Amino acid sequence: MNFEEIRQLYPGLAGKVYLDTAAVGLASRNSVAAIRDFLDMTVHCHSESASHHHQAMDKMRKAAVIQGAELLNADADNIALVESTTHGLNIAANSIPLTDGCNVLIADTEFLQVAIPWYKKAEKKNIEIRKIRTHDNGVLDLSDFLKAVDPETKVICVSSVQWCSGFRLDMKTIGEFCRDKGIWLVTDAIQEMGTLKIDMKEIYADFVIAGGHKWLNSPFGCGLMYISDRVKEELEPGSYGYLSMKKPEGGFGEYFKTPDITPFREYRFPDNARKFEIGGTANYPGGIGLAESLKTVNSLGIDKVEEYVLDLGEYVFGELEKLGINVVSKRDRKNRSGIIIFKCFNDHQKNREILEKMLDRKIYLAMRFTSNVGGLRVSPQYYNNKDDVDAFIDTLKTIIR
C-alpha cells in the first residue's frame, strides 16, 4: 500500500485537519475491526473449553510482540507489552537498584512523567536528581549530559524526542556512552516510535518505552517496552504474575487438572522481557489493536515512514517561514522529528487565541510548554498529506489577518 491508500484506513480524518498525533494518534479501520472480532469471540467462546478460550486470547496478544520486534529490529524475547509509557517508566524505576548517594540525570524540558518515579524514589532514599538544562529552541546538548556524569551516576532517563520542541537526540552516542560507563539508560520513546526509525541492533538502551496511543496510532491502553540483555540478566521485576512463568507441560489447562499441585513450590521465570509484564489476564483488546497498528507501519516500512513524515515536516517548515512565523523547532533533519513547534506572536495570550480559533475551525493542533520552551505544536503523521498542511496554513493566514 502507498500513503494515499493508507489514508483511507483512517476515517477519523474526515471533516477535520488532524495534525495532533503527538497528543493522540487516530486508530485505523483495521485495528477497530480486529478488536471487534475479538469481542465477538468473547461473546461466543468458540473454543472447546473455557481454558482453551483463555489460551487463545493469550496467543492473540502475542502478535503485538512479534510486530513490535520487527519494528524495532529486536528479538521478541526483548519485547514486553505495557499499559502505557507511564507503566514502563515505573517498571524501570522500580527494577533498577538505587543506592544512597547515587544520582539520576533528567533534562528540564521533559514531560513530567519522565521525572515522577525518580522524584518519588528520592523521597525515601538519598538520591540526587540532576537537572540537564536545555539550550535555546529546545536543543539538548549531549555534552551537557556527559559533563554531568560522575562515578555516582546510576541512571540517565531521557525522551528520545522532546515533546515541547520536537528535538531528537542522538541516542546512538548517548547509548554507547551509557553502556561503556555501566549507566542504566531509560528512554521514553513515545514521540519517536512508529514514525521514526529505532533500530535496536544499531543503538543501545536498557529500556525503550512507548505507549501505543500517539505515533503508533493505537489508543487502546497498550504499548511496547524493549529491554536490553543486561536488564534480562541483572534485574528483577517489581511484581510477578503466573502467566509470565515458563508454561507447564501441556499448558496451565492441563496443570490445573493435576491433583497434587500445590502453591508451595519453586517458581521460575524465563529470562525474557515478559517477566516484567503484569503476568495476569491482560488487556487483550489493547494488544490486538496495537498488533494491527504495528502491521500498518511494518507494511509501509519504517524507513519510508520516517522519510515521508520528515519530508512533510519540511513542507510545514517552508510554509511557516514564508509567513515570517518564528519556528522554534530545529530544522536540521538529523535532530528533527514529527513535531514542529512555532509561535505566531511573542505574546503568549495571542498564541492561545490562535490555537482556540484553529480548533474552532476543526484544525487540530496543540500548545505545549516545559521550562519556558514550547509554543503551538503541529505533528503530521503518515496518514496526513500536503493538502492537510495547505488547509492548516490557509486557515492560519486568515486568523492572523
Please name the residue ranges forming H helices in 162-267: 171-181, 229-234, 251-255
- Retrieve residue 33's grid coordinates: 475491526
Cβ pair 386, 16 in contact under 8 A: no
State the pLDDT at residue 80: 98
State the pLDDT at residue 390: 98
Give how far Cα 297 sits from Cα of 290, 300, 304, 305, Å.
11, 5, 9, 7
| Residue 41 neighbours by CB under 8 Å, 6+ apart | 56
List the pLDDT tens digit at each of the 401 positions of the chain: 889 999 999 999 999 999 999 999 999 999 999 999 999 999 999 999 999 999 999 999 999 999 999 999 999 999 999 999 999 999 999 999 999 999 999 999 999 999 999 999 999 999 999 999 999 889 999 999 999 999 999 999 999 999 999 999 999 999 999 999 999 999 999 999 999 999 999 999 999 999 999 999 999 999 999 999 999 999 999 999 999 998 898 888 899 999 999 999 999 999 999 999 999 999 999 999 999 999 999 999 999 999 999 999 999 999 999 999 999 999 999 999 999 999 999 999 999 999 999 999 999 999 999 999 999 999 999 999 999 999 999 999 999 98
3 state SS of 124? coil
Q: Which CATH architecture has domain 55-297?
A: 3-Layer(aba) Sandwich (3.40)
Whole-angstrom distance, CA of residue 101 vs CA of residue 92:
19
State the pLDDT at residue 363: 98
The domain 3-19+301-400: what is its CATH number? 3.90.1150.10
Q: What is the pTM of this model?
A: 0.97
Q: How far is CA 281 from the centre of its chain?
A: 23
State the pLDDT at residue 137: 85
State the pLDDT at residue 124: 93
Looking only at Cα atoms, what is the longest distance across the chain? 80
Cβ pair 279, 240 in contact under 8 A: yes
Kindly report the number of other CB atoms within 10 A of residue 6's CB atom. 19
The residues with which 184 forms a beta bridge, in sequence order, are: 155
Whole-angstrom distance, CA of residue 87 vs CA of residue 109:
20
Tell me the angle at which helices 386-400 and 348-360 cross, rounded to the nearest 10 degrees. Answer: 120
Q: Where are the domains of the chain?
A: 3-19+301-400, 55-297
